[in-house]
Amino acid sequence: MAIPARAAEDEADLSPAPDYVPGWIQAHGALLAFAPSGELATCSENATMLGALPRPGQPPDDGHLTGDILKVLRAGFAGALPDCTEVRLPDGRSADLVLHGHGGLLLAEIEPHIAGNGSADVALLSQRALARIQSQRDIAALLEAGVDEIATLSGYDRVMGYRFLPDGSAEVSAEHLRGQLEACVGLRYPACDFPEHARRHFVAHPLRLVADVKSGPQRLTPDHNPFTGGSIDLTPATLRSIPQGHCDYMASLGVSGWMAVAIVAQDRLWGMFACHHYSPRWVGPRVREACRLVAQLVGLMVERMVAVRRTEEIARGQRLRTAIIEQVRADDYVLHALASGNPSALDVVPACGLIAGRLEQVQLLGDAPAEAQAASILAWLENLAAPRFATASIAREVPELTRACAGYAGMLAIRYSPERHCWLVWLRRERVQELRWAGAPDRRQAASVADSRPPAREGEWREVVRDRAEPWGEPELYEAEELRLALADISATRLQEAARAREVLLAMLGHDLRTPVQALAMVGETLWFDDARIAGVQKQIARISGRMGRLITHVLDLSRLQAGFTLIGARERRDFGELLSDVINEARLARPKSPLLASFSDLGVVSVDADRITQVLANLISNARHHGLPGHPVRVEAERTVSQVLVRVINHGRPVSEAALERLFEPFKRGSLDNTGNPRGLGMGLYIASTIVREHGGSLSLSCGEGLVTFTVALPVHN
């Protein structure tokens, strides 16, 4: 009986779908489905070989089926799911009965018993097979042992051991043949032959079997699950029918019966044992279970071997990185330590050559390109946003680098410092491969994804792969990333040390300039008493010397901050009202024509570094005068609360922009307040003032509104 064609809309649906045809089973066995309370839900058309059957919706009684079958079913209704049980059919033949609980139903599969599939024989073969599997020490030998043992257990003409490759394709890595069959070892099958939904299904249900690709399937009547309202879910049933497309494909290869057993490692489909027979064949439940156990043990052994190898790789990588990092720490010339040390960065990741760059310097190691090519590669990498780049085919993925990377096919690069051209680049030569495909590798399925039907094999097809290097594996990418992170930490430390050295230099410069500036100021003071014609010169000298003095003070303070020191010194208890009055009086004397209004009462005693707080308040008043609108006074208000002394310096002016507010208390923000009256301001004063207040445990903030700009200093009373 032919299976109805899938609907056109199903054929266009690319969503995951079951790899069987709902409502149909294979003809070599029969299937019954019962509700947990015992009522028959459905049965296959050929279930009459089991004896008289109850009607759907009725439970079986002693007049139905056989005594053996009823006994197993009643155990299932009671909640027990016995292992494969040998039962008698009405015609006296032996059969194997297996129960599954699924979808709210009890599924019973009955298959004619196969001679030679006795439990004792299978147990002995299984024990020997598992012992041999456990004795293997590498993956190649493991697959060889696996195909041999499954062939012995199952009796199929051909048993192949597949491995799935990183690109999703599968390669036949081991094979066991009976008779004069053409070998398939080394053949590859495209990834499209193994749809993703089929891979997921194999992980959950690792065994599939077709007894005869040419036998017509048997319908379930009715195909209705009373609990779900849909079709009977046959996912766990070995008898479930296979899509016709796949049966046609196997028939085109001359295969009549086949079985596939998944090799699952680390919860993914790592490989598969594929069994072909050139006449109809099926194996009983006990043999199938033994084959599944062999595949399961192979998967566990693969996991262990991969884990051991990965542990060894990680340990080796750690040793190499530690040695390289020690060399880098001990050598001020980073490139020398990376490219000329023993070990070098070339030892961390297998490659033919290495480029190590930093600023305008380039160090080459191994089979590396010329310096001009290396410089072009580093210049291209400099435009990348990511700190790592990897490709196994430069010509295909980054053709703009083809000339610079002439002769090389693969590249792995890491940025180890934010400085310019600080990259490590590993290069690999082209690896020419001749691949043997079981059909063209770029073919696509003609049937729907739901049918999961690989196309018929067109015969062996050979492909020569050029412009590709050995792909960068996950372990290699891991080692490169770990080295990058370690070098980035060293680079950050050295950049901090360099910044500190620059600040120390600025501090020395400020100290050495202070004396001549003071002398210049003294000369200006003496000129004050000379002829009136030089009064203008005196004022100019005094103004310049004052600005230079303030700048040097800021440089000294900035150098202390960036060198990791604090600004405030010893604190003393001061009457804060008197301190604020002194600041205001000095400001009025300095600029008598600039009105300065003050309003505050008793502010009490506060523990502060008086000189530094005076510096803050004077800076804020000066800042308010620079940025305030001409003709409007600057106001200073202060009050004391239970926990704080608040000082507000207020001037009339434009609101500060959002962009300026974001960087208001950062240094070196030229023109951040868009003030034409102070175009050369670098913002160091506010940065230093905010730091002084913060070191006192207080805060400095800015607010704008109603045409006023207000700086507020909040200092804790109790410190």
pLDDT for the residue numbered 338: 86
Each residue's pLDDT tens digit, 343-354: 988 999 999 999
Instruction: Specify whether 539 is located in the same domain as 613.
Output: no
Each residue's pLDDT tens digit, 584-626: 988 888 788 889 999 998 999 999 998 889 889 988 998 888 8
Sorted by sequence, the CB contacts under 8 Å of residue 715 that are 6+ apart come out as: 576, 606, 608, 613, 644, 645, 647, 693, 696, 697, 698
Which CATH number characterizes residue 174's domain? Answer: 3.30.450.40
Total tally of structural domains belonging to the chain = 4
Among the listed residues 493, 33, 426, 31, the one whose alpha carbon sits nearest the alpha carbon of residue 238 = 31
* 222 preceded by a cis bond (ω within 30 of 0): yes
Instruction: Specify whether 24 is located in the same domain as 118.
Output: yes
Q: Per the structure block, which two tokens stand in for 662?
A: 């974001």
> 3-state class of 295 per DSSP?
helix
Boundaries of domain holding 288: 8-307
Q: Per the structure block, which two tokens stand in for 251?
A: 């028939």
Is residue 275's pLDDT more than 60?
yes
Whole-Å CA distances, 475 to 315, 381, 479: 12, 23, 6
Question: Any idea how long the chain is?
Answer: 719
> 3-state class of 646 per DSSP?
strand
Which CATH number characterizes residue 593's domain? Answer: 3.30.565.10
Instruction: Specify whether 340 is located in the same domain as 402.
Output: yes
pLDDT for the residue numbered 184: 87
Instruction: Specify whether 107 is located in the same domain as 245.
Output: yes
Instruction: Specify whether 29 is located in the same domain as 172.
Output: yes
Instruction: Specify whether 638 is located in the same domain as 509.
Output: no
Instruction: Specify whether 223 is located in the same domain as 98.
Output: yes
Percent composition of the chain: helix, strand, coil (DSSP 3-state, to 5): 40, 25, 40
Listed residues 477, 496, 515: the one ending a domain: 496
Range among 13-17, 82-86, 548-552 with highest mean pLDDT value? 82-86
Q: How far out from the chain centre does Cα 643 lie?
A: 49
Is residue 534's pLDDT more than 90?
no
Task: Band the pLDDT of 9: cuts 50, 70, 90.
Answer: very low
Domain-embedded: residue 659: yes
> 3-state class of 207 per DSSP?
strand
Alpha-carbon gap, residue 132 to 262, rounded angstroms: 19
DSSP-assigned states of every residue in 308-369: HHHHHHHHHHHHHHHHHHHHHHH-S-HHHHHHSSSS-GGGTS--SEEEEEETTEEEEEES--
Instruction: Specify whether 488 is located in the same domain as 514.
Output: no
Each residue's pLDDT tens digit, 84-97: 888 999 998 999 99
Instruction: Specify whether 162 is located in the same domain as 29.
Output: yes
Alpha-carbon gap, residue 138 to 155, rounded angstroms: 26
Listed residues 287, 307, 327: the one ending a domain: 307
Instruction: Specify whether 268 is located in the same domain as 411.
Output: no
Instruction: Specify whether 192 is located in the same domain as 266.
Output: yes
